[in-house]
Amino acid sequence: MSKSSRTRVRIGIVAGEVSGDLLGAALIRELKKILPGARFEGVAGPHMQDEGCVSLYPMEMLSVVGFGVVSRLPALLRMRRKLVQHFTRHQFDLFIGIDAPDFNIGLEERLKEAGIRTVQYVSPQVWAWRRWRIRTIHRAVDHMLTLFPFEARFYRGEHVPVTFVGHPITQRIPARYSVAMFRRQLGIPLGKKVLALLPGSRHGELTRHSGLFVETARWLHARHPELRFVAAFTNIRARARFEREILKQGAEKLPVTLLVGKAREAMAAADAVLLASGTATLEAGLLCKPMVVTYRVGWLSSQLVRLMAHIRDFALPNIILGRRVVPEFLQEQAVTEQIGPALEGYLFRPAKARQVARVLSGIRRKLGRNASQRAAAAVARLIQGQQ
């Protein structure tokens, strides 16, 4: 591709939340190295805008979940329709949807019908549940970029063009770090056993998990009074919700340090972690922390999951490593009587903890690639007609 043609490349790009904004910014930065003069427009957060992406709508419009989607559905549909008109009218070369699959894949389907090539960066969890969505993905996506190797295997089996690029989180979490340094930063005793508690970030997760996590901490502390706890939350409201549960259970004397916005530091400072299923389990795995993973949902949601799920394990470390490495307790199994002894085994059986940590170190080897560079290379090949 000549320099003059490269300057005319126009790429549409839509991210729906903070994590997507970070992914998008790193991708744009790498694409500018390969395609000098490329222009980027769409829906972007501050990090993507800093890299030169023109945002046609506020990213916050897409940052809605649950019932919030219903109330804002007309506005979202109107925004998607106008984006289709904008990208087709101005003859964009390619569109990249970053995560936000409920919005982006519908957008991609319309753009692909109009002759614009499409890329979805971050796969929806079609491999895990609601597998029938693969038919829509076939219609909508020219190329899928996945963060995990098992996702790429799934798409190859479904004959969807795919590139496994790796997970950028591996570049943000060091392979080596000082537990003592993090303990000093957080004011946690150096000579004590420490358990990190991460009950989740969303309101519903906190509602369902706070009581269980406090109860489990009380159970462990009654058996091991020297044990200390550190709990991390995304904001002050979440911390207050947990504090109310501590008061409700009469656990005011529980030796727990409550933090806001320092989940990764809390895990790094701990000997083991109790946490709700989600991306935090991947961070704990990259930190090589023995963990117990749990999750509770409402009754109706649990029935739907049972009907539509296609996987045996739900914790990311177990899925990535292809076997049950860390314990998982879902729904009615998520009780102190099961979780407590599992954590006790990590905290007071050092050989077992070291063994699990060694196995978890394999996660980095599986994901340790330069994700943004690989993603940019795949996008450039598609623009240049090599795929």
| pLDDT at residue number 234 | 87
CATH class entry, domain 179-367: alpha beta
| pLDDT at residue number 69 | 53
Span 287-339, pLDDT tens digits:
999 999 998 665 444 444 444 444 577 789 999 998 999 999 987 788 999 99
| pLDDT at residue number 2 | 41
| pLDDT at residue number 180 | 96
Chain-centre distance for alpha carbon 178? 25
Structure tokens at 39: 């222009």
| pLDDT at residue number 384 | 87
CA dihedral over 8, 11, 12, 17, signed as positive or negative = negative
Q: Are 46 and 129 in contact (CB under 8 A)?
A: no
Per CATH, the number for 3-166+369-383 is 3.40.50.2000
Q: Are 41 and 54 in contact (CB under 8 A)?
A: yes
| pLDDT at residue number 311 | 53
For residue 163, what are the β-bridge partners? 145
Closest-CA residue to 117 (of 382, 367, 384): 382
d(CA 31, CA 37): 10
Query: pLDDT below 70 — which residues of the chain?
Result: 1-7, 63-71, 127-131, 296-311, 386-387
| pLDDT at residue number 309 | 47
| pLDDT at residue number 67 | 39
Closest-CA residue to 289 (of 308, 306, 266, 312): 266
What are the sequence ranges of the domains in the chain? 3-166+369-383, 179-367
Structure tokens at 187: 């004011």
| pLDDT at residue number 11 | 98
| pLDDT at residue number 187 | 93
Half-sphere exposure of 247 (CA within 13 A, CB side): 6
Query: Which residue is it, tokens 């969303």?
Result: 202
Q: What is the pTM of this model?
A: 0.81
| pLDDT at residue number 130 | 64
Helices marked H in the chain: 3-6, 18-34, 46-50, 67-71, 73-89, 101-113, 134-140, 149-157, 169-172, 179-186, 203-223, 236-248, 263-269, 279-286, 299-308, 316-321, 336-348, 350-360, 362-367, 371-383
Structure tokens at 286: 């990259």
Span 79-97, pLDDT tens digits:
999 999 999 999 999 999 9
Half-sphere exposure of 45 (CA within 13 A, CB side): 18
For residue 292, what are the β-bridge partners? 274
